[in-house]
Structure 1
Amino acid sequence: GVIAFQPTNAGSSRTKGVEIEATLRPSRRFSVSAAVTYQQATLDVDGLNCPTQLQPSAITVALGGTRPVNTCYRYQFRAPNGSLATSGLVQDVRGGQLPVSPEWRFNVSPRWQGPITSSLDGFVQVDLSYQSDVQFAIEQDPLQTQDGYALVDASIGISAPDSRYTLTVFVKNLFNQNFYTTTTTSALIGNNLSVVDVYAFRPKNADRYFGASLGFRF
């Protein structure tokens, strides 16, 4: 019944991937900027806590037995007095997903800009961004996984030909896509797994909003 903290090695992580950025300009007034990132970000670490909802299926590894990976388990060991003891619940993660590291990201931004009167230029731009699913917990908690999502922003505006001033009207998160930037869990009750408390940080741009900006150069 006494909680004890034991320092342990933080494990290791590895990230590899490729990123490509490009700008296509089929005409003087129209351009498309794009970027694609693919990465494999994995971690190996021993002795982590087990997600609460996985604890009932934990196995017990006999003294001297082989400890499993990516599975919640207890292990038997000899106590200082020579008696046989059983550990608390742990897991050894291999090839886990590094927290907040989506495998895919891409964005595309088409833009048109050109004269609309002899003294004014106009522009229209749309920004589409996407990221694949992410895991927020180093313990690989299924309740703390967020599915992939896409965001669309749009803007329209006018400016002086020399760009001395610019007026822009914009909308962020056009389709009102909900998402979180991090999650965490409370101290869940192991003998009552129906009590699940997951907390999430929801940023401002997880809601659609509109705005305008006026810029001057001098």
Structure 2
Amino acid sequence: MAIEHCMPRKAWHLPFLAEPGEVPALRRSMRTHLTRWGLPNVIDAALICVSELVTNVIVHVGAGTPTTMAVSMNGTYLRIEIHDPDRSALPTLLGATTTSESGRGLALVVAVTDRWGVMPTDAGKTTWCEIATELREADAHLGGPEVDRAEVLLALYGGSVAWRNPSAQLGLALGQEAAIAMIADLLHWFRAHGQDPDDILDRAQMHFEAVPKSLR
């Protein structure tokens, strides 16, 4: 049950009016989607890109401009696109310093992404950037030793396992440590697959409480 290709990440887009008040909602939407995609390691960089690219539209194209944010995977890179209708106002990376009042937005985008660019389109232009995700495949999930160990356990639980030496008992302390380690690894596995560990714990608690005390 070693699941390598298990996280289909369907491209999505969100039309909005380029207003300062829209930026927090766009950031929340980005965070929610990247969490569901199991990509917590790129959330901070993606949020910076959303803020700076949308602010660029507000400042240089105009507040209230009909704009669209599109998010997709380009291979193992997260791709963020901002579409606006003005082909003339092209973003330019300036040699901004720490005391500059403008020109620092794209410098931040460059600092947290692996590549970026601007493309004229029939409807205006697209400003885009891409962030490396550390995925091995576009539809794989982020791993790590905790996730790998959890998948070994899931493979055992999913097969026909004959329990050997049923009379063997672990010492109480060793058994507790083994159980705690297993639970922690499983929570890492759920988070790698875009699930909320707190929600999983709540659901597990509900299942536990539903079992009669005599059977616990």
Comparing both structures, which one devotes a greater share of its residues to strand? 1
Q: Please identify the structure whose Cα radius of gyration is greater.
A: 1
Bin the TM-score by the shorter chain: under 0.3
TM-score by length of 1: 0.26
RCO (CA 8 Å, sep 6+): is it higher in 1 or 2? 2
Comparing both structures, which one devotes a greater share of its residues to helix? 2
